[in-house]
Amino acid sequence: MAWRGVRDLFRRAGIDTAELDARLFAEAAFGMDRLELVNRERETVPTDQLKLLEGYAARRLKGEPVVRILGEKEFWGLSFKLNAATLVPRPETELVVERGLEIIGPLDGARILDLGTGTGCIPIALLTEYSDVTAVAVDLSPEALEMARFNANRHGVGDRFETLKGSWFDPLEPGARFDLITSNPPYIETAVIATLMPEVREHDPRLALDGGPDGLEAYRAIAAEAGLFLKPEGVLLLEIGSAQASTVSDILVGAGFQDVEVAKDLAGLDRVILARLTAAS
């Protein structure tokens, strides 16, 4: 019955997802699935497991998100481990993977570059779909890269997954060329971050959120150099904020890209932008 006590505690604290949160914590603390939790709830809980559950509950009551506490998040049907330096993979980012698969599917031995990789969820998801694809993942944070390598090895693609520390294209060799460049860059305006929900504002890494005064700094940096690292028929595929399609399109066109296409997520919001270089670029 221990998990029900946590549920009631969460309810009194006004947590909307009290029952779900308590159950997830109990499953993790006790090493049980949902059915086991129900069937065995009258059994005495070992002290160490009870303390683990209580620790989870205390962190949740302080406003920490469930996925941060458990350190795991599902994306593309795969479980990704998190740390403080990584964003939590979001369902809408799966649209980047969907469009990426369309691009690399017809190619033999496609090469992918993922900028600001975080958990590595985008390139790792792509690698699990095609055994002849390779990826390079770049991030400023060594802690994020450590987590990305862990996730790549966990899903059996570590031998095709290279990580480089640095800002955007800086750590790449000048002659490197890719069929697909992907990124879910920081795109929130600096002044807006203070207004975000506490679970995001206080627990997501600011480096992965802050897109500068107008939220577009990362797109300018990527657009300025992406052409140097794309193969002739290569594609740039970026996640965007739902109100940024027009401005990011203008940035890409100004940098020599054409065939700019915007894709909407399941909520009907602009979410992904795809662009190819002009012949003269």
Give pLDDT tens digits for 201-223. Answer: 999 999 999 999 999 999 999 99
The candidate with the shortest Cα–Cα distance to 276, out of 121, 99, 127, 116, is 99
Percent of the chain with pLDDT over 70: 98
Question: What DSSP state is assigned to residue 43?
Answer: S
Structure token digits, residue 150: 């862990």
Residue 165's DSSP bridge partners are 139
Provide mean pLDDT across the span 238-244.
96
Question: Which of the four pLDDT bands, split at 50, 70 and 90, describes residue 8?
Answer: very high
Question: Which of the four pLDDT bands, split at 50, 70 and 90, describes residue 281?
Answer: very low
Question: What DSSP state is assigned to residue 190?
Answer: G
pTM for the structure as a whole: 0.93
pLDDT at 279: 55
* Average pLDDT of the chain, as a whole number: 94
Is residue 112 within 8 Å of residue 134, measured between CB atoms? yes
Question: Which of the four pLDDT bands, split at 50, 70 and 90, describes residue 280?
Answer: very low
Structure token digits, residue 39: 């069937």
* CA dist 92 → 29, 229, 242, 268, 277 (Å): 29, 26, 11, 11, 25
Sign of CA dihedral 24, 27, 28, 30: positive
Q: CB within 8 A of 252, min separation 6: which ones?
A: 219, 223, 236, 260, 273, 275
Helix and strand counts by DSSP (H, E) for the chain: 11, 9
Q: How many other C-beta atoms are found inside a 10 Å radius of the C-beta of residue 105?
A: 11
